Chain A
Amino acid sequence: MAKIFDRVLGSFSSDLAIDLGTANTLVYVKGKGVMLSEPSVVAVKKDARGGNKVLSVGLEAKKMLGRTPGNIVAIRPMKDGVIADFEVTEAMLRHFITKVHNSRKLVRPRIMICVPTGITQVEKRAVKESAQSAGAREVYLIEEPMAAAIGANLPITEPTSNMVVDIGGGTTEIAVISLSGIVYAKSVRVGGDKMDEAIMQYVKRKYNMLIGESTSEEVKIKIGSAYPLEMDETIEVKGRDLVTGIPQNKTISSEEVRAAISEQVDSIVQGVRIALEQTPPELAADIVDRGIVLTGGGALLKGLDELLKQETQLPITVVDDPLTAVVVGSGKALDNVDLYKDVTID
């Protein structure tokens, strides 16, 4: 009886696909497209009795990052692609779900959530349970590179190989996909966040200046590059001088940023090389012909495709909308749950 009831109500619910990323969370509503894209940040306020109250979520909370008084903490509940703070993640999910699924409390949606490849059972359970307690009727998990490949419209059901590199905030997923299955997958826990940290460290070492996370992300987005550009760009960075303790301005060039993030970029390149080494020869032959597809926000890093091309001697394709490829792919998988049933994981 409960099943029938759920089914009847289910026909009124709009199912959701969520890319629960370290940096950004995107929500795709079935039949409507990507409805929400906000930073995975939650601002929590501690009250007098020690209880926690969620103050704001998403963009608003991100503005508070590093600018909060003692009783407010802006938390990024996801670390390295997995849930680091269970309760806060749940609060965030609930906020996003109610935001896109507004005023339909009775009807609970089916949710497809992307997870990095090779996460542990404990981590999977954490994702599932937090989604369930945030109001999901049913939770499906899908591996990020698979979702990215579907989102990029790659012919994953064909018996040819597709190599996808999804560079997210916390992890970089490298996978070779053929016949709707993952032949080889590797998750490198390096992504945009690590690059931001590297830029912070670099500025601290070189200029004796402390800058915040948001500032270093801005530097990375504006002038960051992986391969020498035709035009060297500069940007003014504001921070606090470590010696004098006085806020100040410094100008940083893209060459400096490139040097700062070279370690992270190298580990991505290394991951791709290892994946290529591990690929069976027939599939490797396909990859030579078709090359590598880049998705994820990291694909927007200038010159990354050029660098990978130089390093691997393979053609590199950056998908049209790298930021939403994963969530669009999971949305498609949700739309055709039966077709893509085998790409979801338990």
Chain B
Amino acid sequence: MTLQEIGCLLREERERQGKSIEEIMDATCISRRNIAAIEAGDEKDLPHPVYAKGFVRSYSRVLGLDADELANRLAATYTSEEDEDDDSFACRQAKPLSPVSSGARKSSWLVIAAIIVLLVLLGWLVWSMGLGTKTETGQAVEPVPAEAQAVSTPSAVPAPEPASPAEEALAVEPEFSVPAANATQEPLAFPEEQGEEAVPSEAQNPAAEAPVEPATEPGRVRVVAKAGEQCWMQAQLDDGQIREAFIRDGQSVTFSFEEHGWVRLGNAGGVHVTFNGAPVPIDAGEGQVKTLHFP
């Protein structure tokens, strides 16, 4: 309800009751100018909305109308625009005075603080996780060959695999084309498939890519460098110690072990490898890194 409507309503009610403006002035003590302004709905002549609302309230009380109802209706339309003025005034005043703690500045502070906190949290998370995996699987992950990871499922997957969701199983083993049956079949199929493909499911149970016959007796691995080639190698034998060697131009090196070990070749294409006298085929180019596991 606008001031005009309320003014009209009040004037009509006053005239209906046969009261003059003077009587209203006596009863409410509101000045003639303000009463006239209310009745005419002239916002410019009225003082601030807070006062105008009070005037309308006491005026309508004198006429026996619902004073609060009218005043509230007026406030709904009349106060808002003035308040906007007040706000703009506040802004005008606040800007030059307060570059420090205006709303934007404050929120930027909040954002900065939040970012710092997030970064710290993230850093801590990464640090603690990195430390955790290192201590947990430091020995287990390292020996897994880089190529083996690409070709077959790496050691990180096997644990969840038996119960893994269908899609993951599909991506890893395309042979299992019936996803519905997977959940039930897989635990059964898993060990068999492992043997077939010789997937290194754990570092403790290594399998070479090359079809090497399982040997129970102590093994001897001899690595001979081809002419004109050189090769760096690393080997871990029974005692867990890692050894390094470097051969060139027909030089050879021999590793022997009781149960199992692995040899990492820096230049797999440039060496001949024999295991217990039998040659080990290596399908690798010059300069390729390859890790061979021996049972």
Contact = CB atoms under 8 A, between A and B. Distances in A.
Contacts of A318: 54
B242 interface: no
Contacts of A152: 50
Interface in B52-76: 53-55, 57-58
A11 B110 contact: yes
Interface in A293-346: 293, 309, 312-319, 336-339, 341
B127 interface: no
16 contacts: A8-B109, A11-B113, A12-B113, A152-B50, A153-B50, A153-B79, A157-B89, A289-B33, A289-B34, A293-B51, A317-B57, A317-B58, A318-B54, A336-B90, A338-B97, A339-B94
Contacts of B113: 8, 11-12
Interface of B: 28-31, 33-34, 47-51, 53-55, 57-58, 79, 83, 86, 89-90, 93-94, 97-98, 100-102, 106, 109-110, 113
B97 to A, nearest CB: 5
Given A7-B109, A155-B48, A336-B90, A314 B29 contact: yes
A137 interface: no
Contacts of A157: 89, 93
Contacts of A315: 28-31, 34, 51, 54-55, 58
Contact of B53 (A7, A316, A317): A317
Which range contains the number of A residues in contact with the other chain? Answer: 20 to 34
Interface string A36-69: 0000000000000000000000000000000000
A144 B55 CA distance: 24
Given A7-B109, A8-B109, A315-B28, A339 B58 contact: no
Contacts of B48: 153-155, 290
Contacts of B31: 288-289, 315
Interface in A131-162: 152-155, 157, 160
A152 B83 CA distance: 12
Interface centre among B48, B49, B57, B102 (most CB of A within 10 A): B48
Contacts of A339: 90, 93-94, 97-98
Contact of B54 (A155, A289, A291): A291
A155 B47 CA distance: 10
Contacts of B33: 289
Nearest to B105: A11
A12 B83 CA distance: 29
A291 B106 contact: no
Q: Which are the 8 A-B pairs with shortest beta-carbon distances?
A: A317-B54, A338-B98, A11-B109, A155-B48, A315-B30, A315-B29, A290-B47, A338-B97
A318 B113 CA distance: 45
A39 to B, nearest CB: 27
